[in-house]
Amino acid sequence: MADFNQILTPGDVDAGIINVVNEIPEGSCHKIEWNRKVAAFQLDRVEPAIFAKPTNYGFIPQTLDEDGDELDVLLITRQPLATGVFLEAKVIGVMKFVDDGEVDDKIVCVPADDRDTGNAYNTLSDLPAQLIKQIEFHFNNYKALKKPGSTKVTHWGDVEEAKEVIRESIKRWNEQ
């Protein structure tokens, strides 16, 4: 099996268009992760159903966040995407996040060619306020049954802040 991280580039960060590989479909309670050592998706754990993902969840190839994993993406679509689907996505912001004391930021994006939602969402302020609240609640609480207080959304950043997070993660990947 080919390794996404060797084939797909991060995309055109300056233009705000990135490549995304989806790991977890919206609504799933399966914590699926890309295992780059074996070039396959792996079921890491099953979360309680009340903590199903509020959005699709994936990563940007050839990036490393401060936690040592590929940089995470929250991908807003009208319907869930299957595990393993890759696409070009438009960056609309970043959720700054700390998990067990480690930076674990999430780039927020929409499909670049989604004529229904992609053209309507250009910044985080274009998203429904309730969706932002649901995402924040999810990430502040999804580990509460095992490790209360171990996760925290610290703030939401704009497109430029998101691009800077991506650039830093590309640099980290290239230095590994």
pLDDT tens digits for 9-62? 999 999 999 999 999 999 999 999 999 899 999 999 999 999 999 999 999 999
Q: Which residue has the tokens 């199903």?
A: 52
β-strand 56-60 against 106-111: which pairing, if any?
Answer: unpaired
pLDDT tens digits for 49-76? 999 999 999 999 999 999 999 999 999 9
pLDDT at 113: 86
Read off the tokens for 94.
């970043």
For residue 88, pLDDT over 60 is answered with yes
Tell me the residue type at 28: S
Which of 3.30.1200.10, 3.20.20.70, 2.60.120.260, 3.90.80.10 is the CATH number of 4-175? 3.90.80.10
170 three-class SS: helix
For residue 1, pLDDT over 90 is answered with no
Q: Do the annotations mark residue 142 as ligand-binding?
A: yes
pLDDT at 89: 97
pLDDT at 115: 67
pLDDT tens digits for 117-158? 557 899 999 999 999 999 999 999 988 888 887 889 999 999
Q: Do the annotations mark residue 31 as ligand-binding?
A: yes
Q: Do the annotations mark residue 72 as ligand-binding?
A: yes
Residue 1's DSSP bridge partners are none
How many angstroms separate the CA atoms of 141 and 48, rounded?
12
- In this prediction the pTM is 0.93
In the chain, where the domains are located: 4-175
CB 93 within 8 A of CB 124: yes
CB 86 within 8 A of CB 19: yes
